[in-house]
């Protein structure tokens, strides 16, 4: 590709990126707030307005127009309450401490009503700290709150206008990221074929971790689509994006499917070229899926690569030829044939996406999405006023963290010590693992930001140059905030250094105190999350495993019902599939987080590793059971398959009982391959038998492993 076209393509990708637009919005909004300083030397007014812009941008959520309007109204109300409370109570320390503790608790508890309220609450706490930093007793109490809120209002209105011009831009980005994550999953899965047999277990674990990203992307897309259903925009465009989402769900089900133990297939067919053929097919499917994501991102039509069709045909011919030549064992060749059929199904889904990109959508597809159940606010709040609620525990921690931080400021006589509270706000997370990760990123970003700020303040002493650095720093902060927090902190540190230097000429003087206060704030956050109602992962594993097994059983039952009624992608079925994958990633996340916790708290690392692997394998076998669901005759289900179905169901119930109530366990032996009747079964029936055998035996493995974790319930 010529260099000019390559640069043009890179520039177009950048301009369609959600994070770029987030930064660009803030850059434009802050540029306008700097006009009073540039035109009338009202520097303090400009900088206070800019801080309001930053706080509102952090509190912003990606919603439809009407939701954005209501969010803006709630945000402004919270900002006014937070800022005026500081101004009115700051002069009376004991009242201020009470107000700080109670308001922090109340704002964090807003998160029980949903993510958007959680972000608004975060922005309100940020505004409160900005008000503490800018507090001056000689100034009228209403000036700073009104200026901060005016900056937030300006950004909110500007953002609304920005979104009106491209209401579906962020959804294109999220769908593209979803297909990119599916592409990476397929690339990792290709290692099952043509690689080292000893790597199978490691690949399985990598896939379990990668599945976290895929399911998270699916949920983000679903929430964003739900928010857009009643918003402005063309219905035809929304239907197209909904079709992309539905196709991604089916690709995910197929790509997570496991039809047999890959190590056995690799061993049985190692002397043939089949394994390399499957490796190449998965690699090409990964590339094609990535190209589809690029097409969605760039709003282009998509064309499935012709080479993919040739690879499919060549592999099919090879399968048929080798089977005629060697007469492979039916119990091994059938699952390998089904692996091919499953991957061919992914190709068919990509062809559907090709039609969707050309605006040829299927009107018979069920595009309904699961809606969030609305419960009265008081019931939601009541459900979370208990120590088992993660949000309640986080609210308690944040309140104590802020009060302790304020105590340190007073005890150590730190004139601008509110950087401690700012650090606590950004670093203190609901779990130890998240806090530790954020701590490292915060410290690194602060050090790098100050290291850059020193020479910049020396080299660029002019006010105009510092205003430029301030605006550009805000742009890069929001560009990197969601995908690289260390870089984001680097730029917000530069932003703050410019603010202090423009206000009082102390940008260089505050650098060293900023480092000290950042370290103090980080230490305070870690101590708080470690000792105040801590949530160690080993205590969560039994409940998470039980929840996941129940979701897997529910998914299995929905798949089984379609073997009698016929294949559909109904809403109930999709919800069951989604819940199974969500429960699986929650278990995998707990294991990952456990690795970051202190050594004395890693009490179930080995057991969690094994259980995460087996639970993910169980879900993969159910996914394969689902990928090939076809309507069977009633007598086949009732006569031939009924004992097998009951034994599989019993094995899964026993796995659940081993965690919740071991006395409910009913003895069952491992399901053996009914080889004496395989010759009389069709390929679909052989697949059914084999998948249920894998499901039941994997559930039995989980039952055995689960006995080692019940003591930590």
pLDDT 10s digits, 164-206: 887 888 888 899 999 999 999 999 998 887 666 667 778 888 8
Alpha carbons 343 and 627: distance in angstroms, whole number: 10
DSSP line for 377-410 = HHHHHHHHSSTT-HHHHHHHHHHHHHHHHHHHHH
Q: What are the residue ranges in the chain where pLDDT is below 70? A: 1-18, 194-198, 230-234, 262-272, 326-331, 362-374, 505-508, 631-640, 662-684, 710-713
Residue that is written with structure tokens 């069952």 in the block = 668
Q: pTM here?
A: 0.87
Alpha carbons 384 and 204: distance in angstroms, whole number: 36
pLDDT at residue 53 in the model: 96
Residue pair 493/453 in contact (Cβ under 8 Å)? The answer is: yes
Question: What is the 8-class DSSP label of residue 637?
Answer: I
The torsion defined by the Cα of 48, 52, 53 and 56, in degrees rounded to 10, comes to 170
Q: How many residues does the chain have?
A: 713
Alpha carbons 621 and 330: distance in angstroms, whole number: 19
Alpha carbons 379 and 385: distance in angstroms, whole number: 10
Q: Is the dihedral of CA 682, 683, 688, 691 positive or negative?
A: positive
Alpha carbon separation from 335 to 261, 325, 338, 568, 697 (Å, rounded): 10, 18, 5, 23, 17
Cα angle 215, 219, 222; round to 5: 135
Count of beta carbons in the 10 Å neighbourhood of residue 199: 15
What separation, in Å, do the N-terminal and C-terminal C-alpha atoms of the chain show?
A: 59
pLDDT at residue 362 in the model: 65
Q: Which domains does the chain have, with CATH numbers?
A: 18-165 (no CATH), 169-357 (1.20.58), 384-535 (no CATH), 540-712 (1.20.58)
Reported as a single tens digit per residue, the pLDDT across 463-518 is 899 999 999 999 999 999 888 899 999 999 899 888 888 877 665 677 778 888 88
DSSP line for 638-689 = IIISHHHHHHHHHHHHHHHHHHH-GGG----PPPPP-HHHHTTS-HHHHHHH
Cα angle 585, 688, 623; round to 5: 15
- 323 Cα distance to chain centroid: 43
């Amino acid at each position: 590709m010529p260099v000019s076209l390559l640069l043009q393509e890179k520039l177009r990708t950048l301009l369609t990126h959600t994070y770029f637009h987030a930064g660009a919005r803030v850059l434009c909004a802050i540029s306008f707030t700097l006009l009073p300083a540039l035109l009338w030397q009202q520097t303090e007014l400009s900088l206070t307005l800019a801080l309001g812009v930053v706080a509102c941008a952090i509190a912003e959520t990606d919603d439809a127009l009407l939701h954005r309007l209501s969010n803006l109204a709630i945000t402004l109300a919270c900002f006014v309450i937070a800022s005026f409370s500081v101004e009115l109570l700051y002069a009376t320390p004991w009242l201020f401490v009470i107000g700080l503790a109670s308001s922090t608790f109340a704002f964090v508890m807003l998160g029980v009503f949903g993510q958007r309220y959680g972000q608004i609450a975060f922005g309100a706490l940020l505004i409160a700290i900005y008000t503490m930093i800018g507090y001056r007793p000689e100034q009228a109490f209403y000036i700073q709150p009104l200026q901060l809120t005016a900056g937030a209002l300006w950004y909110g209105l500007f953002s609304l206008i920005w979104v009106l011009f491209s209401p579906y831009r962020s959804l294109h980005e999220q769908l593209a990221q979803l297909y990119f994550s599916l592409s990476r999953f397929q690339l990792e899965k290709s290692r099952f074929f043509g690689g080292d047999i000893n790597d199978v277990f490691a690949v399985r674990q990598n896939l379990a971790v990668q599945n976290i990203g895929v399911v998270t992307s699916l949920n983000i897309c679903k929430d964003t689509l739900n928010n857009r259903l009643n918003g402005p925009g063309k219905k035809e465009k929304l239907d197209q994006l909904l079709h992309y989402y539905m196709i991604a769900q089916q690709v995910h089900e197929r790509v997570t499917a496991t039809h047999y133990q890959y190590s056995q297939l690799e061993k049985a067919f190692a002397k043939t070229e089949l394994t390399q053929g499957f490796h190449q097919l998965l690699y090409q499917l990964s590339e094609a899926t990535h190209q589809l994501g690029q097409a969605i991102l760039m709003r282009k039509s998509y064309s499935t690569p012709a080479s993919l069709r040739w690879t499919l045909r060549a592999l099919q011919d090879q399968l048929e030829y080798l089977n005629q030549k060697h007469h492979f064992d039916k119990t091994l060749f059938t699952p390998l044939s089904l692996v091919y059929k499953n991957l061919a199904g992914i190709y068919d889904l990509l062809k559907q996406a090709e039609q969707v990109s050309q605006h040829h959508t299927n009107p018979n597809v069920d595009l309904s999405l699961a809606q969030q159940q609305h419960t009265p606010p008081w019931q939601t709040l009541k459900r979370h006023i208990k120590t088992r609620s993660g949000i309640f525990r986080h609210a308690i921690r944040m309140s104590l963290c802020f009060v302790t931080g304020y105590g340190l400021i007073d005890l150590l006589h730190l004139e601008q010590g509110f950087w401690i509270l700012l650090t606590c706000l950004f670093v203190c997370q609901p779990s130890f693992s998240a806090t530790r990760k954020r701590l490292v990123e915060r410290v690194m970003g602060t050090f790098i930001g100050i290291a850059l700020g020193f020479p910049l303040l020396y080299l660029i002493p002019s006010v105009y140059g510092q205003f430029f650095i301030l605006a550009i720093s805000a742009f890069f902060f929001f560009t990197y905030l969601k995908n690289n927090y260390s870089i984001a902190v680097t730029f917000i540190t530069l932003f703050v250094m410019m603010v202090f230097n423009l206000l009082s000429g102390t940008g260089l003087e505050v650098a060293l105190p900023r480092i000290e206060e950042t370290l103090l704030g980080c230490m305070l956050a870690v101590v708080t999350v470690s000792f105040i109602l801590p949530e160690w992962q080993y205590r969560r594993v039994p409940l998470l495993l039980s929840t996941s097994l129940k979701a897997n059983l529910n998914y299995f039952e929905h798949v089984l019902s379609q073997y009698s009624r016929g294949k559909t992608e109904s809403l109930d079925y999709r919800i069951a599939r989604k819940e199974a994958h969500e429960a699986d990633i929650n278990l995998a996340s707990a294991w990952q987080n456990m690795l970051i916790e202190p050594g004395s708290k890693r009490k179930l690392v080995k057991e969690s590793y094994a259980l995460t692997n087996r639970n993910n394998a169980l879900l993969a076998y159910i996914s394969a059971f689902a990928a090939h669901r076809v309507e069977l005759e009633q007598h086949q289900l009732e006569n031939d398959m009924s004992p097998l179905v009951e034994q599989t169901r019993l094995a899964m119930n026993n796995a659940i009982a081993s965690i919740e109530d071991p006395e409910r366990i009913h003895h069952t032996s491992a399901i053996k391959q009914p080889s004496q009747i395989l010759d009389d079964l069709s390929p679909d029936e052989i697949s059914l038998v084999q998948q249920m055998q894998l499901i039941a035996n994997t559930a039995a493995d989980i039952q055995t492993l689960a006995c080692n974790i019940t003591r930590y319930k």
